[in-house]
Structure 1
Amino acid sequence: MQRPKAQTAALLAAPEDTEAQFYEALQSADLERLMSVWADEEEISCVHPGGPRLVGFGAIRAAFEGLFAQGAISVHPERVRRLLSGETAIHQVLERVQVDGPEGQHSAWVIATNVYLKTAEGWRMVLHHASPGTAHDIQEVVEEPATLH
């Protein structure tokens, strides 16, 4: 199954553009927009927190279709760390997910890695790997450089 050709390269000119569209699509339960950010590659993959590895456009689409059947996902990327090397971008993201519970709304945390490739159609997602997180993940442990230049 091929991905829709609805988005143009101009709209996905940087990995940040692709990431913004991905999270906006989650927040609005827009399946077509969400699937349009994925690369047209057989080996694209997605792992939802606690779920199996989904490989290929059809498996990923079916999983998000099931999630969206329950409504939009109030997820907000925070503390994004970016690595860009040539035509590959890796974003490590702390996601804040607003969840409605019996005692009202609260935040759940997810740690995600998003990988993007630069294609002829702009930057496209090739991997979204999300793992359950905790409130403790809000604080990062960052090693300071040992040498000042």
Structure 2
Amino acid sequence: MQSRSKAQAAALLASPEDTEQQFYEALQQADLDRLMEVWADEEEISCVHPGGPRVVGLGAIRAAFETVFLQGAIPAHPERVRRLHTGDTAIHQVLERVQVDGPDGQQSAWVIATNVYLKTAFGWRMVLHHASPGSAHDIQEVIEEPSVLH
């Protein structure tokens, strides 16, 4: 498959949600080129895989995902997304469900991720993906109740 140009990819990344969808589809298909298209072309972009070190820069992030994809696709599905958008920045807190094969067949594992997007001349691009291992308990959220009733 031929890689799309930045201008073509920008048309597909018109919102942070478009970028996030492409990111997860690329993970599910182990499509390294498509996955790298969602990243901003900035020196300080970074990625943290569950239990791993901080990886900084396009080349290092590409190499890290290339290594991950040697094990196959990542069946990660965003289950719950909390979004904060302000100006040219979007922060998505994501509860990811990852299907894994276990002794009793396929089971769900949970990952808590933070995805940060920046609006660029080429559309919305990812500048941070930080994923931490989660548990079934993490599907429950602790939410502060409003202190003022309206």
Distance in 2, Cα, partners of 1:99 & 1:92:
22
Q: How many residues in Structure 1 have an aligned counterpart in Structure 2?
A: 146
TM-score by length of 2: 0.94
RMSD: 1.1
Deviations 1:95-130 (A, max 9, x none): 000001222111110000000000011000000000
- The residue identity in structure 2 corresponding to 1:32 is D
Q: Percent identity?
A: 82
Distance in 2, Cα, partners of 1:30 & 1:51:
21
1:145 aligns with 2:126: no
Question: Structure 1: which 5+ runs fail to align?
Answer: none
Distance in 1, Cα, partners of 2:52 & 2:5:
28
Structure-to-structure mapping, 1:1-149, within 5 angstroms: 5-6=5-6, 7-149=8-150
The Cα of 1:134 is off from its aligned counterpart by: 0.5
Distance in 2, Cα, partners of 1:95 & 1:116:
17
Distance in 1, Cα, partners of 2:63 & 2:103:
29
Deviations 1:34-86 (A, max 9, x none): 00000000100000000000000011001101111111111000110000011
Question: Structure 2: which 5+ runs fail to align?
Answer: none
